[in-house]
Chains A and B, each alone.
Chain A
């Protein structure tokens, strides 16, 4: 417990650094927010008016101080592109991104871990080669391309998948919000029809993300399994006459899992980034597409809010991974 608290306190300087750097970066970018929002026929006076009303005419330290004070009150500012408070938007959009990323990750784990294990156990076999092909393809195809390809094949040509209109098709209505995850909320409400609709919408984007995440997970599972399978305690287990599956699953896999979990953390962060493009292709209302649109318009507040949210997420994610590592590996517990 104390260790967790220490870790969280230790994250504060990092977060402050992130806040400062994003603030400076957004100001240093050459775009001029006031000119952009003054609209097409703006006169110099109306641009100046907007600059004053946004507080952009004040010196930088003062702007930063105001930003900090607002942050202290939990106010992340207003987005000019969507016209809404950044906090509301992030809160509304984060579940969409998280649901998509988690689904993609689970899908990837579900495929990659068994694939990696099999490839390690039957080294040099067909399945090993298949693993290599899938991993190489997954990494080398950019996500927006796989996304478009999947849309083209499964929606446009075959018509198996519903229209890529976002989280739900146009005629369905969103479930009552508990977690913000539609898949969970619909089950909570016992609304299986909407659950099916939401699941149908998420399959393709989650599949796209999974394809991207497969490679590192499968590769690291394979490598780590190979190392473990070659070690002495496995030979001992085999010599003691334990069955194949017991050896592989109970003895080898558990020990091979440690690097896999660490990689999972990294892959999760990758996926949050890769999300941005997938969200664009599938019109997914997540935080990635929100941040990109804001960045193009030099809309500072959402960009700052997005980076801050991501930083907080990473801190929490790293913490979670450390905790999982401790649960799996007794050495990590003693080491701390």
Chain B
């Protein structure tokens, strides 16, 4: 900030009429200390997170190059690391907001000085256009909006140039958090439409161009190779970032990424196998920011709609036989929080919570004997080749252990594209998978994974009217007491019926040099360049 004020006054003294662009040009080129080098497995496949088929890294473009109405506040987590606060917000493009007295709408006042990269001021019409687009475009964006009861364009009202209102479809505690994720970002609607060539949603243009107001612009994007971000010096929605330039290189080989961070040629390295993170953390030369992924678990699910795991005794037998500790050390390399060996009923309201299961082979054998009359059974276990670094050793350990209780397991490893297809078929008897919702509520997780609406993530195809009642009641609970009662209800029921066996909550690990500060963990897990600092 200081430099900016100084520059302005200096330029002003030198030549009063100097246009703003000249001022920017007069700034020296970014130094190495203002330039960050980040290496990741693969970069964005689009610039438009609302677009269909946008991959995980596109969240980073949304986070850094666009603004949302409101942002999650940051709370400290560890040295040099902050995480998002799900229930407290700070101004983004909206300077202030007010929920109506009946609790059925919220009115946002936009910042007066906010402007897009095109220098156009941000108006309520842009906000409406952007949110309309998110609920109309289909695919993931529309699903995510609907998760926060943001369903129809009629809910979004541009009251005047700087005032915007959202009419709630129902009272839903997910609505406000859902406005702060990487989907409802605000687009420069006039620039987009001017280049849209007749497409009312400007899909093609926005896929290849950023038309936002965010803290960074994309200077160059070579898909599969490199994305270069430069700071937007006119950003109005927060403190100007310290970094002026970010070079994100796509380095497919994890060994190379590890070598780069260890040699000091990269500042931040994303996505390494857990063993590498363990080695790096143990060696202590670089900092490993290990944030347990909110809401997420690795689990072993069993298909409750088809034989043999329709029998709850068999599911419980598996839960008593999963070799938890071996998985933690040989598959996770300690990069996660154990989710087993807890008390029954569960110790706290939240998700994930440790189950009461631990390894007890005698109990498991007895349950199998009771269910099958001592005959044992043969089944198969599905997992994603894309996450095989963790899932494969885990599957082998489960296979070994279940063999001892008379359950013979065949492993079925399928590549990523087929894995989703297999999940959709809902026929696999056993699945190893990982799931975590962006909006960290237990009822949100259970809605996707245990509810009778049978979403693709209800891998166990679990159907239970009692469970549905508890989940639905908790989602729209009128007060804290009834919420707590319902959540406790479905947590304990879930542990007892055990359609999926919780194993552990994984860490989101990121390796960075010790001189990197201000690392912030956002729900989308992508790096937030706005707070990062480099050097002392």
User: Which residues does A use to contact B, with CB under 8 Å?
Assistant: 30-33, 35-44, 46-47, 49-50, 53, 80-84, 89, 92-93, 148, 151-152, 155-156, 159, 163-166, 170-171, 280-283, 285, 289-290, 293, 296-298
Contact = CB atoms under 8 A, between A and B. Distances in A.
A289 B224 CA distance: 9
A76 to B, nearest CB: 15
A256 to B, nearest CB: 39
Interface in B328-387: 386
24 contacts: A35-B424, A36-B421, A39-B53, A41-B143, A41-B144, A41-B147, A41-B456, A46-B139, A46-B143, A50-B52, A148-B253, A152-B259, A156-B262, A165-B249, A280-B252, A281-B255, A282-B256, A283-B251, A285-B222, A285-B224, A285-B225, A290-B224, A293-B42, A296-B415
Contact of B417 (A32, A84, A155, A171): A32
A83 B207 contact: yes
Interface string B434-467: 0000000000000010000001110000000000
B9 to A, nearest CB: 32
Given A39-B140, A50-B53, A296-B416, A170 B421 contact: no
Contacts of B35: 171
Contacts of A289: 224, 252
Interface string B237-274: 00000000001011111011001101101100000000
B223 A89 contact: yes
Contacts of A163: 260, 263, 265-266
Interface residues on B, range: 35 or more
A281 B256 CA distance: 6
B139 A32 contact: no
Contacts of A296: 386, 415-417
Given A151-B259, A165-B249, A290-B224, A30 B418 contact: yes
A170 B455 contact: no
A50 B139 CA distance: 8
Nearest to B39: A165
A42 B421 contact: no
A82 B223 contact: yes
Contacts of B417: 31-33, 35-36, 296-298
Given A31-B418, A80-B45, A163-B263, A38 B225 contact: no
B8 interface: no
Contacts of A155: 259, 263
Interface of B: 32, 35, 37, 39, 42, 45-46, 52-55, 138-140, 142-144, 147, 207-208, 222-226, 247, 249-253, 255-256, 259-260, 262-263, 265-266, 386, 414-418, 420-421, 424, 448, 455-457
A166 B226 contact: yes
Contact of B455 (A43, A49, A82, A282): A43
A42 B39 CA distance: 29
Interface centre among A41, A46, A156 (most CB of B within 10 A): A41
A36 B259 contact: no
Contacts, number: 147
Contacts of B247: 170
Given A31-B421, A38-B420, A296-B417, 6 more contacts: A38-B53, A41-B140, A42-B139, A50-B53, A165-B39, A293-B252
A178 to B, nearest CB: 18
A40 B140 contact: yes
B53 A37 contact: yes
Contacts of A166: 225-226, 249, 251
A39 B265 contact: no
A80 B58 CA distance: 13
Contacts of B420: 32, 35-36, 38
Contact of A151 (B39, B256, B266): B256
Contacts of A93: 224
B456 A156 contact: no
Q: Can you list the 9 inter-chain pairs with the closest CB atoms, starting with the nearest?
A: A31-B417, A298-B417, A39-B140, A82-B223, A163-B265, A37-B53, A32-B421, A283-B251, A285-B225
Nearest to B37: A170
A81 B55 CA distance: 8
Contacts of B225: 166, 285
Given A39-B54, A165-B265, A49 B138 contact: yes
A47 B142 CA distance: 12
A164 B250 CA distance: 11
A283 B55 contact: no
Contact of B223 (A31, A39, A84, A156): A84
Contacts of B259: 151-152, 155-156, 164
Given A170-B247, A281-B256, A159 B224 contact: no
